[in-house]
Chain A
Amino acid sequence: MPATKAAHPEAMAPAVNGPTRTAPPMQPSSWKTSPRMKQYSRFGLTGWIYLLASFAAIYIVYGLGSGPEAYAQVQALLANPLVIAFHLLCLISVGFVLVRFFGLFPKAQPARIGPAKPPPQPVLKAMLYGLWAGATLVLSVILAGGIF
């Protein structure tokens, strides 16, 4: 037998057992090697990265609100190569999440919500990418000193 992992013992169980003994449900053996399931796994793993990215952002803003000396310490920590690498990893994760999300989001819009209808899927996808690019550009320019 392929060394497949068991599913939950109650998966797809009937409300009342049938007259004969059944073998327990197993997970698909392809899940261990399937490229799609690996992508799905990575998507789930980004949850941890998002939590850490949030904690880091909270630390930064807390430091900013604690005066110039505290903020200087924050900036020193941010300049640490490991911390820069961490933020780069967060950036790559965010990109990965959004590309997958923008692929899946358009078809998740109901055909109509009350009287309102969503735009056609390709249009919606383009709007999402446009929003992402636009917001990133504006925020980056502001943060980098371009305006204000």
Chain B
Amino acid sequence: MSQGHPLLKLEPLIWFLFGQGIMIGSILMTGWLLVVGVLAPLGIIPPEALGYERAHMLASNPIGRFILLGILALPLWKGAHHVRHFFIDRGYAAHDATIGGLAYLVATLGSIVSLVAVIRL
């Protein structure tokens, strides 16, 4: 985006969140996707493991909430940053302030919803 744009002031923070989204987000997402996304629905693990009672017990544990927040929110920042670059790489750099702003807005709103989802468990 052009120099002097207000979003520029936040770029260090955005990049840091993007970096953590890649690292911590991806690392946590692996186990989540493997079990919750693939093994459990395929019936490869016993159904009680992620039945309502146990799942709720794990998730509402303070450490569980914290880890869930990482799984829900961090990948959003990796995603938003790359979606923004997706458009820049295809020649839409002139609209970067708008596209970037929109992408990070989605990430911010998603992070807030993630927090709400984790709190109301």
Contacts and interface: CB of A to CB of B under 8 A. Distances in A.
B121 A54 contact: no
A8 B92 CA distance: 9
B7 interface: no
B50 interface: yes
A1 B93 CA distance: 26
Contact of B41 (A57, A71, A78, A142): A78
Q: How large is the interface on B (under 10, 10 to 19, 20 to 34, 35 or more residues)?
A: 35 or more
Contacts of B67: 139
A30 B75 CA distance: 32
Contacts of A48: 79, 82-83, 86
Given A51-B76, A64-B56, A87-B38, A57 B27 contact: no
A84 interface: yes
A95 interface: yes
B35 interface: yes
B23 A101 contact: yes
A47 B86 contact: yes
Contacts, number: 174
Contact of A64 (B29, B37, B41, B59): B59
B79 to A, nearest CB: 4
Contact of B58 (A45, A94, A95, A142): A142
B6 interface: no
Contact of A44 (B21, B31, B85, B110): B85
Interface in B71-99: 71-73, 75-76, 78-83, 85-86, 89, 91, 93
B37 A90 contact: yes
Contact of A47 (B28, B34, B81): B81
B37 A46 contact: no
B8 interface: no
Interface in A107-145: 131-132, 135-140, 142-145
B32 A79 contact: no
Given A78-B41, A84-B37, A148-B58, A57 B85 contact: no
Given A48-B86, A143-B45, 18 more contacts: A45-B82, A45-B86, A51-B75, A61-B59, A61-B114, A71-B55, A79-B41, A88-B38, A90-B37, A91-B34, A94-B33, A97-B22, A135-B27, A139-B30, A143-B35, A143-B50, A145-B45, A148-B58
